[in-house]
């Protein structure tokens, strides 16, 4: 009996350590997504909000404060069931830079052609998410849907693939999210929220700035 008790305690200790170690490898945003990710609507589009997602941190923030530009890629998808295939999706290339003298950030959306400057770190993160949108046109007000959100940094080798003669390729962006993030890249997600109904989604008024 004593030996069995010791063995059980050892297994519990190993199990506890295993979960802790495994947790270190999971992005904070993925682990807390159900608590921090919400959906709003401006009437025509759906937006995500994630106040606890701080993607201007860690290695990307260090690079920015060293004078480098950091590119993020976002991906929004609408699903009819949890874990299902998207029936609508959109992607965006987000370019962030940092003014070392003013200690302010500038953000440029390549596809949506919106930009904002002279932002604090928190303002830049909030502005990015508020200006990412996916069309809600055609959604039945009372039919459940799920929204999937994914965000990652882009490496230098990714950028030429995304840019074609006509500009940024949305399909190229979407295909990139089907691959795992490479060495030196960071990824938050993919995260799903739902079921949601358009009739229940809070309405907001979106004001976009062109002060870059």
Write out pLDDT tens, residues 123-133: 999 999 989 99
Residue 15 has pLDDT above 50, yes or no: no
Supply the pTM of this predicted model: 0.75
| pLDDT at residue 99 is higher than 90 | yes
pLDDT at 162 over 50: yes
Q: How many CA atoms lie within 13 A of 95 on its CB side?
A: 14
Confidence of residue 104 (pLDDT cuts 50, 70, 90): very high
195 contacts: CB under 8 Å, gap ≥ 6: 82, 144, 145, 146
Selection from 130, 135, 134, 142 nearest residue 208 by Cα: 130
Q: Which residue from 158, 157, 195 is spatially nearest to 177, judged by alpha carbons?
A: 158
- Half-sphere exposure of residue 161: CA atoms within 13 angstroms, side-chain side: 12
């Amino acid at each position: 009996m004593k030996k069995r008790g010791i063995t059980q305690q050892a297994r519990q200790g190993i199990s506890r350590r295993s979960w802790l170690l495994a947790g270190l490898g999971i992005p904070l945003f993925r682990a807390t997504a159900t608590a921090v990710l919400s959906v709003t609507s401006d009437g025509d589009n759906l937006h995500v909000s994630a106040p606890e997602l701080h993607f201007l941190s860690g290695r990307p923030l260090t690079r920015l404060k060293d004078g480098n530009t950091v590119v993020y890629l976002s991906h929004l998808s609408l699903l009819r069931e949890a874990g299902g295939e998207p029936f609508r999706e959109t992607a965006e290339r987000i370019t962030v830079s940092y003014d070392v003298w003013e200690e302010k950030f500038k953000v440029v959306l390549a596809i949506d052609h919106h930009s904002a400057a002279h932002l604090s770190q928190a303002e830049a993160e909030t502005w990015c998410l508020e200006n990412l949108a996916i069309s809600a046109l055609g959604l039945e007000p009372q039919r459940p849907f799920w929204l999937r959100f994914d965000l990652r940094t882009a490496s230098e080798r990714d950028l030429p693939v995304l840019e074609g003669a006509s500009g940024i390729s949305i399909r190229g962006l979407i295909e990139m999210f089907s691959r795992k993030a490479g060495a030196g890249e960071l990824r938050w997600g993919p995260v799903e929220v739902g079921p949601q109904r358009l009739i229940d989604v809070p309405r907001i008024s979106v004001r976009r700035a062109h002060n870059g």
